[in-house]
Amino acid sequence: MSEKPNQEPTEPSVSFTTLKVKNKVWAKFISTISQIPGASSTYLQSNVVQHDDNTSGINSQQITNKGGRITFQQSGTYMIIVNVQVGALTGIGDLHLWFRLNGSDVSNSNVVRSLVNENDVSILLNQLAIELESGDYIELVYSTTNSRLGIITLLQVGEPTPISAAALIFRA
């Protein structure tokens, strides 16, 4: 079922993308911190997903990240695959996740994950195939219906630090 939430891009009900990668321009950005809006957040306020500025795994200086703004140095078609771990400190609710290109929402890029039980944790995936020009930037944006719900890291003793958000990018 496709929906259009208040002040957000449409949520497509089905999305399928295939892309052949011809070159080696790629990057992976991650976050290892929880990102929960908090009590000061209003209903469905937009928040930019923060990625660590210096992330291992970058194979190209052609794609850079600063404060959640991913900038592309080369024009071309890019495939962007993101995932976030959704959870709540308390309560239930929805987390909406979409892309912005140069500060404007990308049509049909909104996905939503509903947490219907206390202590639920779930992974939310989103993807985008898009033609970009040199200097364009993409941001991953989220909003929630519960200010205590967001993108979380669940630390476990004796295990590596988990990722709360990841973006994998390829140029076709």
Q: Is residue 97 part of a domain?
A: yes
Helix (H) or strand (E) holding 159: none
Q: Is residue 94 part of a domain?
A: yes
What residues form DSSP beta bridges with 141?
A: 48, 98
CATH number at residue 89: 2.60.120.40
For 154, phi and psi rounded to 5 degrees?
A: -105, 105
Q: How many domains does the chain have?
A: 1
The identity of residue 98, as a single letter, is: W
Question: How does pLDDT run along the chain (172 residues), one tens digit per residue?
Answer: 555 566 677 666 555 555 556 666 778 888 888 888 775 444 445 666 666 655 544 455 688 888 888 999 989 999 999 999 999 888 899 999 999 999 999 999 999 999 999 888 999 999 999 999 999 999 999 888 888 889 888 888 898 888 888 888 888 8
Of the chain, the end-to-end C-alpha distance in Å amounts to 30
For 118, the domain range is: 54-139+157-172
Q: Under a CB-based contact definition with an 8 Å cutoff, are residues 137 and 72 in contact?
A: yes
Q: Is residue 9 part of a domain?
A: no
What is the pTM assigned to this prediction? 0.79
Burial of 98: CB neighbours in 10 Å, binned 0-12, 13-18, 19+? buried
